[in-house]
């Protein structure tokens, strides 16, 4: 292997550094008009009147879309359940819910037209707290919604009826009551996490138009062209072949762009306008479009005096907002691993997906796992402290190992988690018992903390790849994987190049275009390198086989004695006996023309039974660890991260630098949500929905000592052993920082995220009062 494992320079570098990389909002079409939308001012209300007559008459307005326009189509969409209308029908469910849309020649005119739309509301009681929403008698947000049929995991959810609880995940093993009876110590805690913005700097954008033949074309900033195509086809009763989704560069997604957001409305408005319609969100609108599920996690754990965890009971409530999006999938993902990466004989795990009158959520890097990891890993340090065991030792004692049967029923393979933990701990100079000593006694409020994480990936899922080798020895990979910053075009080019024995510079990777590129489930769940990478490898492998067969004939050699290297097919150990790819084409076709194609449809199999929560939950498991060292200012409550290191089991790093950058990005993102990021609402009204008031971490927040470690435990089904890394590092960051703070504060525990200075000061104050 010569190309795999190399830090090959990114193929998208020149375009991005010159400013010429094209994002959706950069595309224009002749005759294009601009969309703006009218949003609800109420968190929950019946719409008694929507009148757009005046708006329609404003010069420059091309079309106004209201509920009256939805009568001849399926009004609802959604990836799991179809609960979200293109524009509101009878009622609005959050501040920012869309009531009407205008397409106009100029953006100013569209804005002006919105003010002419008359809306009468009849306010309804609203609920913002999932605990309230779960109580009997709470106002119900949704009736029964139709299920979406296009998801491979559609049978894995347990839905509730006539309730704000949309779905429940439950799994258990052993006898948890017995486990608690056997325990020497029992720990019971409640941890909470906040609503977080994805903060992709490119706001959502889409551009739609209808061809005269009746075909819908949409350019969109999405992570998931196949989901957009399927849902638009369902919305308009079109065959999928009549919906074309094209995705240029995407300016960050982190989950927020995984399922339809702007696309249904943009397409519907374009149909009415008979013109191409562009819709680009403002930053304030992005805040109203997607965010991370806030959560409350109750966790009860029974341990033996020697540190063996014997029983764990978890109940996690996730606030999915006003519409489901992938909520049921998120809470399933969180629930499956809510017991943590530990061997625990008795477990009972439940998670709930709950509607509230707040903006819709959706996948967020980590997909439901950071919420439970925050709970179990914070509690783990409290256990260590009370038992007088080093937190590193306590974890190592209980961690899962190769071949273990996980609570979901999966057999764990490629399990490098102990190595991840040891190497992260080593990187911050972890010194076992000494780390338990009270920092205050040393005159400095400094502490270190560790955490580990396990996460599943979307299973089952499909990825298809098509590779075309040209007669000049260059190749094209046709793929629907989205380049959203993670470097997927580069790493996939490396895989094809490795297989065909050519340099990656000679491989071109397409952007997704559903008319041309084969199906891919989604560029999410950090699944691309594992699932699409395998498909690309197999597709290229078919061409390799074809070249070998031609070469065996030409060189009069056995196939097993041949190899592809540096653009040549040669006899192993006798490189003078070789042919270039062009020469092989010549031998096969009579001239160096034409192409050879290989294609592969890859499916990872599995899924869980919604009744038991068990089955094959994941094609592979993400395993990671984080170690942090902090200093706490006891006067101001401010936390400074002195050192932070994440370690991730990558299986095999196809492009190590890109893997490190995924880890770094995960760490930066998560230190923001650990310490300060938080969406704030007052009775459903967003309070800080701009980057002035909600600021993601900047370079000034970047820790001075900042590291990433890659552990490589090859996975038998990953290409060359590779597993995904995109979000693996994120989960353990918050609890590692929380544990470091607790360590600095002599065990004082903050259980609510973010760990703001005022929370630290309040906690310090209350312990002082207790001791007086």
Partner 1 sequence: MKIELRTVINGREVEASVKPNQTLLEWLRDDLRLRGSREGCGVGVCGSCTVLVDGRPVSSCLMLATNADGKEIQTIEGLAKGDELDAVQQAFLDQQAFQCGYCTSGMIMAAKALLSSNPTPSEDEVRDYLSGNICRCGTYQEVMAAIRTLAEKNLANR
* Distance of closest approach, residue 354 Cβ to partner 1, in angstroms: 28
* Distance of closest approach, residue 107 Cβ to partner 1, in angstroms: 9
* Distance of closest approach, residue 253 Cβ to partner 1, in angstroms: 8
* Distance of closest approach, residue 692 Cβ to partner 1, in angstroms: 5
Angstrom distance (rounded) from CA 679 to CA 657? 33
Q: What is the CA radius of gyration of the chain?
A: 27
**Nearer to partner 1 among residue 357 and residue 670 (C-beta):** 670
Angstrom distance (rounded) from CA 609 to CA 144? 22
For residues 39 and 50, is the Cβ–Cβ distance under 8 A?
no
Both structure tokens of 752: 């609510």
* Distance of closest approach, residue 29 Cβ to partner 1, in angstroms: 14
**Nearer to partner 1 among residue 254 and residue 620 (C-beta):** 254
For residues 488 and 528, is the Cβ–Cβ distance under 8 A?
yes
* Distance of closest approach, residue 661 Cβ to partner 1, in angstroms: 6
**Nearer to partner 1 among residue 340 and residue 504 (C-beta):** 504
**Nearer to partner 1 among residue 177 and residue 687 (C-beta):** 687
* Distance of closest approach, residue 42 Cβ to partner 1, in angstroms: 25
Unique residue bearing structure tokens 């170690």: 627
Beta bridge partners of 597: 468
**Nearer to partner 1 among residue 182 and residue 284 (C-beta):** 284
**Which positions ≥6 away from 44 have C-beta within 8 Å?**
91, 92, 93, 94, 123, 124, 125, 126, 127, 139, 141, 357, 684
**Nearer to partner 1 among residue 485 and residue 606 (C-beta):** 485
Strand bridging mode 639-649 / 216-220 = unpaired
**Which positions ≥6 away from 404 have C-beta within 8 Å?**
343, 411, 412, 415
**Which positions ≥6 away from 316 have C-beta within 8 Å?**
295, 296, 297, 298, 331, 334, 335, 338, 350, 351, 352, 371, 372, 375
Please return the burial class of 323, using the count of CB atoms within 10 Å of its CB with bins 0-12, 13-18 and 19+: buried
Outline where 388-517 has alpha helix (H): 391-398, 417-427, 488-500
Angstrom distance (rounded) from CA 757 to CA 768? 17
* Distance of closest approach, residue 65 Cβ to partner 1, in angstroms: 24
* Distance of closest approach, residue 53 Cβ to partner 1, in angstroms: 27
**Nearer to partner 1 among residue 252 and residue 714 (C-beta):** 252
Binding site for partner 1 (CB under 8 A): 7, 9-10, 12-23, 25-26, 108, 198-203, 249-252, 254, 282-284, 484-487, 657, 661, 664-669, 690-692, 695-700, 702, 706
Angstrom distance (rounded) from CA 423 to CA 416? 11
SS3 at position 725: coil
N- to C-terminal Cα separation, the chain: 67
**Which positions ≥6 away from 21 have C-beta within 8 Å?**
12, 15, 249
CA angle 146–147–148, rounded 5-degree value: 120
**Nearer to partner 1 among residue 95 and residue 482 (C-beta):** 482
* Distance of closest approach, residue 286 Cβ to partner 1, in angstroms: 9
**Nearer to partner 1 among residue 268 and residue 494 (C-beta):** 494
* Distance of closest approach, residue 427 Cβ to partner 1, in angstroms: 15
Angstrom distance (rounded) from CA 297 to CA 752? 10
**Nearer to partner 1 among residue 11 and residue 52 (C-beta):** 11
**Nearer to partner 1 among residue 130 and residue 732 (C-beta):** 732
């Amino acid at each position: 292997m010569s190309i795999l494992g190399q830090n090959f320079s990114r193929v998208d570098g020149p375009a991005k550094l010159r400013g010429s990389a094209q994002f959706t909002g950069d595309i224009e079409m002749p005759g294009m008009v601009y969309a703006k939308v009218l949003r609800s001012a109420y968190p929950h209300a019946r719409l008694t009147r929507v009148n757009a007559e005046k708006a329609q008459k404003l010069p420059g307005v091309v079309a106004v879309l209201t509920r009256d326009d939805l009568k001849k189509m399926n009004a609802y969409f959604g990836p799991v359940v179809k609960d979200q209308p293109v524009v509101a029908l009878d009622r609005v469910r959050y501040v920012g819910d869309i009531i009407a849309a205008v397409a106009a020649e100029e953006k100013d005119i569209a804005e002006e037209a919105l003010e002419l739309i008359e809306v009468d509301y009849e306010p309804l009681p609203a609920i913002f707290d999932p605990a309230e929403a779960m109580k009997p008698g709470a106002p119900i947000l949704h009736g029964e919604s139709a299920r979406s049929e296009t998801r491979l995991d559609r049978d894995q959810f347990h839905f509730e009826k006539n309730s704000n609880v949309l779905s429940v995940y439950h799994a258990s093993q052993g006898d948890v009551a017995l486990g608690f009876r056997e325990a020497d110590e029992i720990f019971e805690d409640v941890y909470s996490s906040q609503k977080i913005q994805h903060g992709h700097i490119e706001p959502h954008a889409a551009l739609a138009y209808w061809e005269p033949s009746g075909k819908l074309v949409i350019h969109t900033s999405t992570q998931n062209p196949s989901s957009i195509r399927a849902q638009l086809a369902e919305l308009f009763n079109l065959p999928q072949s009549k919906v074309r989704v094209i995705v240029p560069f995407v300016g960050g997604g982190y989950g927020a762009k995984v399922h339809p957001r702007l696309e249904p409305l943009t397409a519907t408005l374009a149909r009415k306008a008979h013109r191409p319609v562009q819709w680009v969100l403002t930053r304030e609108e992005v805040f109203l479009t997607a965010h991370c599920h806030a959560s409350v996690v109750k966790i009860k754990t029974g341990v033996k005096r020697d540190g063996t965890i014997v029983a764990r009971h978890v109940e996690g409530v996730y606030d999915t907002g006003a519409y489901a999006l992938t909520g049921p999938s998120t809470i399933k993902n969180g629930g499956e691993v809510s017991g943590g990466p530990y061997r625990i004989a008795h477990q009972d795990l439940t998670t709930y997906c709950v509607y509230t009158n707040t903006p819709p959520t959706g996948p967020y890097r980590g997909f439901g796992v950071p919420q439970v990891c925050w709970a179990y890993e914070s509690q783990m340090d409290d256990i260590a402290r009370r038992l007088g065991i080093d937190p590193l030792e306590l974890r190592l004692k209980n961690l899962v190992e190769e071949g273990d049967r996980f609570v979901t029923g999966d057999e764990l393979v490629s399990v490098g988690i102990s190595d991840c933990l040891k190497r992260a701990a080593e990187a911050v100079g972890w010194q076992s018992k000494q780390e338990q000593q009270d920092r205050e006694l040393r005159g400095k409020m400094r502490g270190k903390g560790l955490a580990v994480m396990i996460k599943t990936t979307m299973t089952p899922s499909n990825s298809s790849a098509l590779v075309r080798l040209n007669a000049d020895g260059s190749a094209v990979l046709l793929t629907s994987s989205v380049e959203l910053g993670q470097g997927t075009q580069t790493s996939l080019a490396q895989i094809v190049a490795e297989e065909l024995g050519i340099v990656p510079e000679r491989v071109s990777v397409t952007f997704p275009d559903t008319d041309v590129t084969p199906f891919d489930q989604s560029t999410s769940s950090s699944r691309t390198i594992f699932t699409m990478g395998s498909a690309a490898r197999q597709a290229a492998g078919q061409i390799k086989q074809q070249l070998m067969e031609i070469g065996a004939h030409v060189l009069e050699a056995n196939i097993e004695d041949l190899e592809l290297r540096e653009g040549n097919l040669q006899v192993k150990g006798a490189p003078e006996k070789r042919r270039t790819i062009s020469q092989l084409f010549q031998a096969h076709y009579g001239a160096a023309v034409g192409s050879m194609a290989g294609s592969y449809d890859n499916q990872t199999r599995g899924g869980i039974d919604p009744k038991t929560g068990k089955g094959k939950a994941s094609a592979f498991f993400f395993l990671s660890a984080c170690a942090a060292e902090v200093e706490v200012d006891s006067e101001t409550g401010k936390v400074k991260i002195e050192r932070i290191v994440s370690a991730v089991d990558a299986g095999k790093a196809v492009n190590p630098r890109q893997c490190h950058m995924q880890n770094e990005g995960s760490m930066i993102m998560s230190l923001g949500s650990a310490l300060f990021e938080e969406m704030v609402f007052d009775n459903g009204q967003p309070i800080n929905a701009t980057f002035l008031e909600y600021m993601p971490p900047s370079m000034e927040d970047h820790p001075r000592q900042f590291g990433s470690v890659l552990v490589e435990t090859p996975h038998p089904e990953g290409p060359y052993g590779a597993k995904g890394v995109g979000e693996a590092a994120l989960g353990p960051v918050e609890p590692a920082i929380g544990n470091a703070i607790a360590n600095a504060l002599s065990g004082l525990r903050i259980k609510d995220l973010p760990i703001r200075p005022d929370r630290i000061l309040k906690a310090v104050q209350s312990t002082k009062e207790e001791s007086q």
